[in-house]
Amino acid sequence: MKPHAESGVSDLLEAFADLGLRLVLVSTGGGCEAIARLVATPGASRSVVEGLVPYATGSIDRLLGGPQERYCCQQTARRLAAVAWQRAAAITGEPATAVGAAVTASLATTRPKRGNHRLHVAVQSLASTATASVELVKGRTRGEEEQIAAAAFLRVLADSVGQDHPTASLPKLPLPLATAEHMRRLEQVVGRQLDALEQLDHRVAPPSARPDAVHVKRQGEDLLDCPSWIE
């Protein structure tokens, strides 16, 4: 990794720590180098709570509570980010400073793929849900696509935190896309005042839910499209 990239990740972690954020990160299908970059940086433990790499579909199903219609799509990325946020909130006991981020990718492999090479990133906080998608032009090596997936993961994470904390000083991380490639983004800000936040306690969760589930509602509506095991 180049020195300026190391500096960018270090600055990003320092900004997270200054904000008191605690992160759980999930990567499936690609982009796990982003987690490796973060945890390999001194001081990462001040912000990074956990990194998960559920690679087999069965592992993803177990994490999300059941089979998914598709695995490399925006909806699954959002669900993974929601679960990551729930885990961060449950582990730290601080939902307001918890951040869940996830990337799901379909990249170059040992055989040609009929579909597009693509990746979807989602970031969940108490204040907002951010998603981003990129379709990659075929022709790169797996290693090159992994670099892009990791860069996109960190870029969307940084930008989403910046949206939640507009006065924070966050680095603008580079994203090496080709001219024909674009990142499609969506930011859903739900506000920082929620009508109800259930306690991080399995006694308030439905019997079929996992013990670390947190159900957040705003004016009687779901905060986001949660996994099926959350009512």
The answer to whether the CB of 158 falls within 8 A of the CB of 150 is: no
Could you report the per-residue pLDDT of 5-56, keeping only the tens digit for each? 577 999 999 999 999 999 999 999 999 999 999 999 999 999 999 999 999 9
Selected residue with higher pLDDT from 19 and 127: 19
- Cβ-count burial of 140 within 10 angstroms (0-12 exposed, 13-18 middle, 19+ buried)? middle
Confidence of residue 208 (pLDDT cuts 50, 70, 90): very low
Roughly how many angstroms between the first and final C-alpha of the chain, as a whole number?
Answer: 43
Helix (H) or strand (E) holding 128: strand 128-136
DSSP string, 45-71: GGTEEEEE---SHHHHHHHHTS--S-S
pLDDT at 112 over 60: yes
Which residues face 134 on adjacent strands?
119, 183
Instruction: Supply the mean pLDDT for the chain.
Output: 81
Domains and CATH numbers, the chain: 3-222 (3.90.950.20)
pLDDT at 207 over 70: no
DSSP string, 69-114: S-SSSHHHHHHHHHHHHHHHHHHHS-GGGEEEEEEEEE---SS--S
Could you report the per-residue pLDDT of 51-91, keeping only the tens digit for each? 999 999 999 999 999 999 999 999 999 999 999 999 999 99
The answer to whether the CB of 72 falls within 8 A of the CB of 118 is: yes
CA angle 220, 126, 199 (to 5 degrees): 65
The pLDDT value given to residue 89: 95
Confidence of residue 189 (pLDDT cuts 50, 70, 90): low
Confidence of residue 111 (pLDDT cuts 50, 70, 90): confident
The answer to whether the CB of 44 falls within 8 A of the CB of 13 is: yes
Confidence of residue 182 (pLDDT cuts 50, 70, 90): confident
pLDDT at 229 over 50: no
The pLDDT value given to residue 5: 57
Backbone angles phi, psi at 59, to 5 degrees: -70, -40
Confidence of residue 205 (pLDDT cuts 50, 70, 90): very low
pLDDT at 199 over 60: no
The pLDDT value given to residue 98: 97
